[in-house]
Structure 1
Amino acid sequence: MSRLSSSLAINEKSGKKVAKEIKKLMLEAYVFKANTRWNAVTLRDENAYPFAASELSRILGVPVLFVRASEDDGWAYSLYLDGHEVVKYLTNDGEIIDESDRTLQLERLKAYSEEAQMIDDALNMTDCTDPSEPFELFLNAFGLTLLAWITYADLTDMSEAEKTQYDIQFVGNKNTKSSDKAIVAQIIGKPLANAGFSITSGHYFTNDFAFLTERHGFHVGLLVDIDHDRIEASVRSVYQPQRVVYLKEGEHQILFYHDRETFIKQLEYIRNAFLSAGIDYIESEQYEEFTREPIYAELDSTLAKDGFSRTSSDFSLKGGCMSYLNKEKRLQIIFKHNDFSIGLGCFIKDGELEENILSLNGIYNWGFSFPNRQAYEDRLHEYVKLLRQSGYIS
């Protein structure tokens, strides 16, 4: 088997910035400094290079070179600008089979290299049977000699001490399938990015993939989980999450796959269902801004009759907490706004034990949603009613 080398060169000085974006794309890679102007990336998944080059050039707003060489099949490079492949050069056994306009190549590449003649010399070596000569000459024109015949496997085999010495960063989770990640990012991520949803990694949502934007300060969008032979996809909205399939078919079914072809078809179904029904579902949920302080001013007098006084007043829609304390009974009544969606919960804290008033009354959901002030007041009245029924207030 011939030796194959692939890598990206990103015209960005900050390796941390490159690593951060690679992580957001949910790819596994090594990032290291090639020279003072370029950072280099090797990916575990060979098929993910075009996607990564396109996305990094778009997100970082810098040129990205994708270079690949094979001892048997020749060498190639592509230049990506603003998410698009603008220059492409590909050979096979020394024969040029795909080449952009030579003048255009030199014009665009010259801005990132002081050795335009060296680039021209490399591209003119069409009768050379050894691809290493023009390939290495081309890399040398940009000061990227470190990328000559480097592979992901080579860096994996290096000791941790060597990686530290050369400042080689690993990005990703070695226990995940990066090929699946690249496919999901390609099929779902790019179309959703055009619709304003960004792929997110390391978020407080524990899903495998989260494609999110903001509404009323909350993250909403598409959540995807992949587990062996099944895919679960749900729409995260400001009120009530819903399965993607339910929005399209009226059923809460899970999508299954048994091979890569079916896997891709199911991802395409999820993408199309979200774009056609999921976004409409999110946009249909309306919320009316209102001031909550006057509402709790009225509640103060109701709870004061049973010895409760307000001890905290955070009225923020996301995660706000309003609490009332009865010092004599060492009992707290706490009203909380949800961290993840628009909702209001009521909790009882007796000493160290805190329980949801709804679960105490046999209703097993976190709390009530509220689209406007009237609905919010209705929710509070429901909680007051439950507190009375449970004997916490008279």
Structure 2
Amino acid sequence: MTPNDQLRTYALSEIAHMKVHGRTTGRLDPLTLFWTGSGVEWNAKGSELWAEVEADYDHYEPWISVIVNGAAVSRRMVTAGRHWICLFRGMSADTVKNVRIVKDSQAMSGDRGCRLQLVAVRFDGTFEAVTDKPYRLEFVGDSITSGEGAIGAVTEQDWVPMWCSAVDNYAALTAGALDAEYRVLSQSGWGVLTSWDNNPHANLPAYYEQVCGLLKGERNEELGAWEANDFAAWQPDVVVVNLGTNDGGAFNTPAWQDPETGATHKQRLNADGTMNADDVAAFEQAACAFLGVIRRCNPGAHIVWAYGMLGTAMLPAIERAVSAYREQTGDVRVSVVRLPEMTAETVGARNHPGRRAHEQAAAALSEAIRPLLG
């Protein structure tokens, strides 16, 4: 493993100075990383640092990035089992290195066996205090917010977690531009009311108040994924919602049939190709209701609905929903930001926004959010 006999093994609970990123249960031995962008951060003064990770999966393996002093220095698949991975070695022992492990892959609602945990560390130095950033941002979204396609060649079409990045996506870039800590709740293909294929159960609002309730199976229940989230422990200054792309796509996909009841669900198009008014109204009602849930859970936050990277089909409906919510509640701390649309020059893998598109979105979004941050 390593010849360094100065390394000491620490359980995570033994490290006084460590910042945990992302929604968790608060349990550290081990620490389960559920969402995109979740992870840990240390200010490590020493020459060599290792982390013990444990992973499992039935279909989709987890991916992580290692960031040292703000630069992504490595990215890797975490194969099944328990492993020691080196975060850095041979560096100056008397300097402090800011080190982050970031989960690149999203919570896998379609893989009951998918799990990523941090177990322990080995280090030859001391952990120094990690300074809190001045702001907190929360992002709620779909594949765009999961960073799907933000990394990888334009020709890639396979749906594999390799093409998801929590480092190159607009959420991380926006947080970096605003010097903010951030959390992500995202799921590829999901929406406000329905998924891209008309499944009404695949909507983020239904699980917003849980730690990571969209995960299935007894193992995830044991890990605490279904527990109520402790909102009081982490209050964002701004909640960014980037949903609606898949709701719009559902109008152009076949009906979804519930395998248990046989009932079908479909966002309908009129004969002239326009969206059915009743179905659009149902989306608006769902969006308006979700804003109410976000406000109840985050009473002091500004809410920004950001949309447009993969088209603007639902933008009028989103604007109407936000206006309706403001009128019904008198809550003026809610706004809509139109994001730059992906082009042939900014497309990434899987016909999703690439790094350049995420950079453009982050520039527009950070400009809109900056005046809201006191």
- With the length of structure 1 as denominator, give the TM-score of the two structures: 0.27
TM-score (norm 2): 0.28
Higher helix share: 1
Larger radius of gyration: 1
Structure with the larger RCO, 1 or 2 (CA within 8 Å, 6+ apart): 2
